[in-house]
Amino acid sequence: MIRIFALTAALLATLPAAAAPVLMIAIDGLRPQEWQRRDNGLDLPNLRGLAAGGTSAAVTGVLPTVTYPSHTTLITGTTPRQHGIANNLTFDPLRGNADGWYWYASDIKAQTLWQAAAHAGRTVVNVHWPVSVGVAGLTANLPQIWRTGMADDDKLMAALSTPGQPLAEAGPYPTGKDESIAGDEGRTKHAIALLRRVKPDFATVYLTGFDHEQHEAGPDSPAARAVLVRIDAAVGQLVAAARAINPQTTVVVVSDHGFAPTARTTNLFVPFIKAGLIRLNGNAIASWDAIPWTAGGSAAIRLARPNDAALRAKVAAVLAEVAADPAAGIDRVLDSAAIAAAGGTADAAFWVNCQPGWLMGGKLDGVQGEPTTTKGMHGYFPDVPAMRASLIANGPGISAGRDLGVIDMRAIAPAVAARLGVSLKDAEKPAAF
């Protein structure tokens, strides 16, 4: 609570008399130590310059610390339990939805910054922010969505974007499934073109290449570090474009989660199958009574009959047995009361967290502790220090060189709303807001 009040004071105490534009940039997987430490060999003049001239913090995220729930918290100021985006992928126990994600803004149950700003008459643009398909009231929207990564995805993007988008002068728009740094750089060009044409009051831009490279090569790997240097350059281009239009623009750089290196896999499916909680037809899931809903370094456990006390007790016994196996790499298990306290979805009866170095797998066979080719992961419980995200806020009236320490992610959206001169009706915020 103290940290939330500190964020409020730092961002809002000396607001300009009239609300000024806000550029909100999300860098997926940006840990505070990347830009806070100057002895790590990273050349990040733009991120460090914004922090030195503004207010910054490490950020405790939400349950789970994965991209879509976190970005929805960043845009609503609420937990997944309230805003409804419980994971990256929608719950699909029979695996029939072809890895469908929570792409659609209609799934968000809390008011967003986009809606609040548009309702107040502000011009709003978005480039690639998660859970942005179908956001109402935007002047221009290039949402994040993909299906196959094939050419038809470009048609899908064109159909779901605001008419007239993407802008021809910005060049080819990267496909939704392109999470590379080149994709980020392409979207940055489109974001800059939108800033110049629309001159929005509020703009959101999402860059995903750093997260992608940390999954592939691991956090602190040379490949990931090289990507972050290029993202820093993209941030510099976005800020320069926004402030060339209006020097009073507030820049808010955020991230969704941290990262941890991974080498081994925890498998909850096999013990659930062995206990009869999941039943197979050949190599496919045919039916289930309880099933893991994986989220990177953790997994929610869903019950087919949430009010069945005997089923809940059986699942608890299976989880206790697995947790006692050192080869499974389980850190701890939350019950429904602890999940509620952490702001996780009400649909989870239990939530299982992996130990450092492990991630949740989805295989229907195999053994615990199998090697994984994924070199880095997030999704662990938000109190794990390695999962801390980032905040840098720079603009008129924001204290220079101020470090707020560790703050709650929910404090960010209402602070941004106040910079825009609007409020978020659902935000979980202290009374001072």
pLDDT score recorded for residue 429 = 63
Among positive and negative, which fits the CA dihedral 326, 328, 332, 334? Answer: negative
Would you state the structure tokens that stand for residue 263, as one six-digit string? 């080498």
pLDDT score recorded for residue 133 = 98
Task: Name the pTM for this structure.
Answer: 0.95
Would you state the structure tokens that stand for residue 253, as one six-digit string? 């750089």
3-class secondary structure, 133: strand
**pLDDT beyond 60 at 16:** no
pLDDT score recorded for residue 1 = 40
Nearest to 295 by CA among 218, 351, 256, 229: 351
Question: What does the pLDDT look like over 149-168, one tens digit per residue?
Answer: 888 999 999 999 999 999 99
**Residue 6 or 232, more confident:** 232
Q: Which amino acid is at 290?
A: A
Average pLDDT of 39-43?
91
Does residue 382 have a cis peptide bond before it, meaning omega lies within 30 degrees of 0?
Answer: no
Q: How far apart are CA 352 and CA 298, in angstroms?
A: 5
Residues 6+ apart with CB under 8 A from 103: 130, 131, 132, 133, 143, 144, 145
Extract the runs of DSSP E, i.e. beta strands, from 267-344.
Answer: 278-281, 284-288, 290-295, 298-303, 330-335
Nearest to 145 by CA among 179, 188, 184: 179
- What's 266's DSSP letter? E
Please give the share of the chain, as a percent, with pLDDT higher than 90.
91
Q: How far apart are CA 263 and CA 358, in angstroms?
A: 6
CA distances for 408 relative to 2, 60, 77, 419, angstroms: 10, 5, 10, 18
Average pLDDT for the chain: 94
**Residue 18 or 329, more confident:** 329
What values do phi and psi take at 361, rounded to 5?
A: -100, 170
Would you state the structure tokens that stand for residue 283, as one six-digit string? 């190599």
Would you state the structure tokens that stand for residue 79, as one six-digit string? 């937990």
Question: What does the pLDDT look like over 78-115, one tens digit per residue?
Answer: 999 999 999 999 999 999 999 999 999 999 999 999 99
3-class secondary structure, 298: strand
Residues 6+ apart with CB under 8 A from 48: 35, 38
**pLDDT beyond 80 at 430:** no
